Chain A
Amino acid sequence: MPKSQLELLVLYQDIQLMLYDAEEQKKMGFQVEGVEDLKIALSEMEETIQTRYIRTYERLKTRYTRPIAPVSKDVCLGCFATQPTSYKARAWSDKQIFTCENCGRILYWIH
């Protein structure tokens, strides 16, 4: 089970995308009968993520389809702005969630 708030937020976004893709996958012949169960899992997750992060996420969602952007080589892949190198080490500590200084998206370091 993911532990950090950032990991939980990433999972939250992944599940939302999964629900979005469900219809296409149904056409391919996959079982997608558990849409309601997944929606319940999503609301349960909302209770494990701190309210301030959910609020930030939902606010960003009104501007971007995907409020969390991956970071590669210190570059936000949402807007391609370079991020301070000091963010990376601190980002995995679970004490703080970083947002892009340019676009405001929540940042997730993939490596």
Chain B
Amino acid sequence: MNLNELVGYFKDDLFLPEIKADTKESVLEELVEPLLKNDIIKNKRVILETLKKRETLGSTGIGHGVAIPHCRTLAVSNVQLVVGHSEQGIVYKSMDGEPVHLFFLIVAPPQEKSNLYLPILGKLVEMLRDKDLRKRLQTIHDFNEFVTVFQGG
């Protein structure tokens, strides 16, 4: 998975410039909302429950203000990536206990032919280890700005 392939999964319709939620549970719900709005999922129940169960395994808040909630679920037919930004940060029980400013929700179907779920997840983790990139992403206000910064522009 290269950077351009990853960026191809970011969509304006699945981008939340300012998250309104203030709890871990409500932020997951807000992140799933664009999938429902864009007719990607039929209802939120299964996907939300799967995401909550994933948090039982361990927090997807990887620290440094970033969380990557993710799951495989039959609720979607293709890999989907929702990006959310929170200026004030949300308490998410992250590994380092710090509030989260950047959310990357990844959902993929179990029968995904191209098996991109883990490569996307891995590439995101790799990219977001970059302190400078994280810092710059925390100041973005719209989708175009987000993509430009993510591509190193």
Interface segment out of the listed B4-12, B72-80, B139-147? B72-80
Cβ–Cβ contact A17 & B72, under 8 A: yes
- Considering only CB atoms and an 8 Å cut-off, how many residues of chain A contact the other chain? 38
Asked if A29 lies at the interface with its beta carbon under 8 angstroms from chain B, I say yes
Contact with B along A24-51 (1 / 0, CB 8 A): 1100111111110110010000000000
CA distance A20 to B42 in the complex (A): 26
Contact size range, B: 20 to 34
One of B56, B60, B72, B111 near A30 (C-beta < 8 A): B60
Asked if A97 lies at the interface with its beta carbon under 8 angstroms from chain B, I say no
* Residues of B2-57 whose CB lies within 8 A of A: 39, 41-42, 45-46, 49-50, 53-54, 56-57
Cβ–Cβ contact A10 & B46, under 8 A: yes
CA distance A1 to B47 in the complex (A): 10
Contacts of A19 in B (CB 8 A): 57
* Residues of A59-97 whose CB lies within 8 A of B: 66, 68-70, 72, 77-78
Contacts of A3 in B (CB 8 A): 45
Residue of B nearest to A26 (CB): B58
Taking A14-B74, A108-B74, A110-B74 as contacts, is the C-beta distance between A70 and B54 under 8 angstroms?
A: no
